Amino acid sequence: MDFMKPETVLDLNNIRQALVRMEDTIVFDLIERSQFFLSPSVYSQSKFQLGDFKGLFLEWLLLQVEQTHSQVRRYEAPDETPFFPQQLKPSILPPLKYPKILANYSDEINVNQEILNFYVQQIVPQVSCNDAEQEENSGSVACCDVECLQALLRRIHFGKFVAEAKYQADPILYKQLIENRDIKGIEESITNSAVESKILERLVVKGESYGTDPTLKYSQNPQSKVDPKLIARLYKDYVIPLTKKVEVDYLLRRLEDE
């Protein structure tokens, strides 16, 4: 997605194609996570010495990664929503002059804590290959979790672009819904059940294709590493609803930037 060209960025078909490409990253990241045990220490607050950091070991690593990547201006991009925006470091690269695409408040539209909660409480226990500790892999598990979370963060917060594209396609409708604080009306208006169904169907196929050793494809038991239906269920229960929450939260404030 070329964020220097607002006219293409806010084309809903282009946005949907970007979301389809993000499916591949998320499916592969979940397959990678499925190789590891549950590793509860990664989600604990006290197992490792983290200085004065207060939080999960996973959150501590997320902060390290965000501080490193912020030095090459990763979080200046409009499609990045960091967990620790107040603790990023100055970039050593000169700032890019992104054209204004989203509303001024878009950085304040943030569901990161909900994403972390569903990832730790729902995704990890269902994707891990068993519920044991795997001390020697705590670092690898945490690195894998960061990859999964960053892919999910980006996919879900892409809802801001979807919302802006829908607003610009019908500003009269949305102005009325927003002025009336008609949250249900906004939710109904942004929902496209046909697109959602297509996404869930495609995820099962991708889970089957990407998660199975191709040389075993025609064997009696081409066991996929992650249950393809689980990937679709996680999208249905968490990824899509949170994306729509981002859309609604973004639209509810949209008249602030008229």
Ligand X SMILES: C=C(O[C@@H]1C=C(C(=O)O)C=C[C@H]1O)C(=O)O
**What does the angle CA 185 – CA 12 – CA 5 come to, to the nearest 5 degrees?**
130
| Residue 184 burial class via C-beta count within 10 angstroms: exposed 0-12, middle 13-18, buried 19 and up | exposed
- Is 16 a known active-site residue? yes
Output the 3-class SS for 81-148: CCCCHHHCCCCCCCCCCCCCCCCCCHHHCCCHHHHHHHHHHHHHHHHCCCCCCCHHHHHHHHHHHHHH
> Considering 196, 202, 236, 245, which one is annotated as catalytic?
196
Structure tokens at 58: 């996973």
Nearer to ligand X, 23 or 66 (CB): 23
- Is 147 a known active-site residue? no
What is d(CA 20, CA 9) in angstroms, rounded to the nearest whole number?
Answer: 15
Q: How far is the CB of 13 from ligand X (least distance, A)?
A: 9
- Is 196 a known active-site residue? yes
Q: Residue with CB nearest ligand X?
A: 243
Q: How far is the CB of 190 from ligand X (least distance, A)?
A: 5
> Considering 166, 206, 225, 244, which one is annotated as catalytic?
166
- Is 175 a known active-site residue? no
What is d(CA 214, CA 119) in angstroms, rounded to the nearest whole number?
Answer: 28
> Considering 192, 202, 208, 229, which one is annotated as catalytic?
192
Structure tokens at 62: 């997320």
Q: How far is the CB of 198 from ligand X (least distance, A)?
A: 9
Number of H helices, E strands in the chain: 12, 0
Q: How far is the CB of 199 from ligand X (least distance, A)?
A: 5
Nearer to ligand X, 38 or 251 (CB): 251
Nearer to ligand X, 88 or 251 (CB): 251
Could you list the residues that contact ligand X (CB under 6 A)?
A: 16, 162, 190-192, 195-196, 199, 240, 243-244
Nearer to ligand X, 45 or 168 (CB): 168
Q: Give me the active site residues, please.
A: 16, 155, 166, 192, 196, 243, 247
